Structure formats: structure tokens, C-alpha cells
Amino acid sequence: MGQGIVENIVPKTVMTFASAVVRGATLTSPQGGMMTYLKDVARVEVYDGTAWVTVASGTSTWKTITLGSGYAHDGNDNGTVQYRLVNLFGEPTLMFRGGVAITYNGPGGAIPNNGIINSTLLPASLRPSERRTIVVACSTAASGETSLKFDVNTTGTLVLVGTNTTNTKPPWASLNGTFVSL
């Protein structure tokens, strides 16, 4: 009788395991709909009938990006330039927010540091396996464009691309609402 209660309750609870390895050794025949929490990666997963898939990940706090010379936070009142690790559909993803103000320098107004905005590289664990390119909004003031290319590189650099012409010198770019997969 007690076994019947356990068999009916277990598939409806969120079971906690130290890791996926421990879960696999414990749940040798998972049933569709079972949910687990994995402590080592702070992640909730559900068994969909054929595989364990991520439902959510642990809290990831926003981290402020240390900007290089010629760049400042709060471009166009968009806030501090920050990133955090999130999990979208089972894939580790970097989420960005904030606005970067750009001060062009030298003859012809070159973008500082060849467009590399960060003075501190992204941590190695948060770098993509290949370059990730997204489009970010920018000011139309002093610019013939409304967007720039933004590269998140395997080296940990964050680069604004597309300001090399005399008519594309936006004073700010917004990273709000942008994501790149790792």
C-alpha cells in the first residue's frame, strides 16, 4: 500500500539531486512529466518522455561591464551597461541591457579602441564558442544609420561595428533586450 502512494506522489514532485549523473543513477526509468532540480547547475528540468529538458535556471544577477576609455554608461538614459547569464529553451544565453555613450576621438573622429567597449574581458565561462553577432539600436544624431553590428567574441571582447564612415558616428548605442547564445 505504501509503495502505491510513493509511486503516485514521486512523479508529481520536484525531486532534488546533486547532479544529472546522480539523477540518472537514481531514476533509471523516468516517466514523462517528472521534474527535478539539479543543485550543481541550479536548474529545473522536466522529463518530456524521451529526454530531460531545461525548464528554468537559477538566479543570475546583473553584472556591470567595465567600459574602456571613450565609453560611458547610461547612453541616451538607457541605464548601466550590464549582462547576465540566463537559460532560454535549455541553452545558456547572455542577456544584455543598458546604453553605452560613445566619445569619438582623434582626426576624423575614430571610435575608441576599434569599437571594443569593455576594458575587462568577459569571464571564460561566459564566452561564446563562436563569434555571435547581433543588431543594436543607435542614435540617429550624427549618424545616417539607426543600428550597429555588435559582436560578442570568443576572446571575451564586446565590439561595436559600423562606425567607420564620416556619416555614422552615433553618440550612443542601446543593448537593451539583446541576447546571444553561448
Same domain assignment for residues 95 and 155 = yes
Same domain assignment for residues 170 and 129 = yes
Same domain assignment for residues 89 and 110 = yes
Same domain assignment for residues 163 and 84 = yes
Q: How sure is the predictor about 8, in pLDDT bands with cuts at 50, 70 and 90?
A: low
Same domain assignment for residues 85 and 145 = yes
Same domain assignment for residues 27 and 8 = yes
Same domain assignment for residues 52 and 81 = no
The answer, yes or no, to whether residue 33 has pLDDT greater than 60, is yes
Same domain assignment for residues 119 and 79 = yes
Strands (E), 98-169: 99-102, 132-138, 147-152, 158-161
Residue 27 belongs to domain with CATH number: 3.40.1620
pLDDT tens-digit readout, 48-104: 999 998 876 656 799 999 999 999 999 999 999 999 998 887 788 999 999 999 999
Domain that includes residue 51, residue range: 2-57
Same domain assignment for residues 148 and 67 = yes
Cell of 140: 540617429
Same domain assignment for residues 45 and 111 = no
- Please say whether the beta carbons of 150 and 111 come within 8 A: no
Nearest-angstrom CA–CA distance, 89 and 112? 36
Same domain assignment for residues 86 and 136 = yes
Positive/negative CA dihedral, 119, 121, 101, 78? negative
Tally the domains of the chain.
2
The confidence score (pLDDT) of residue 57 equals 65
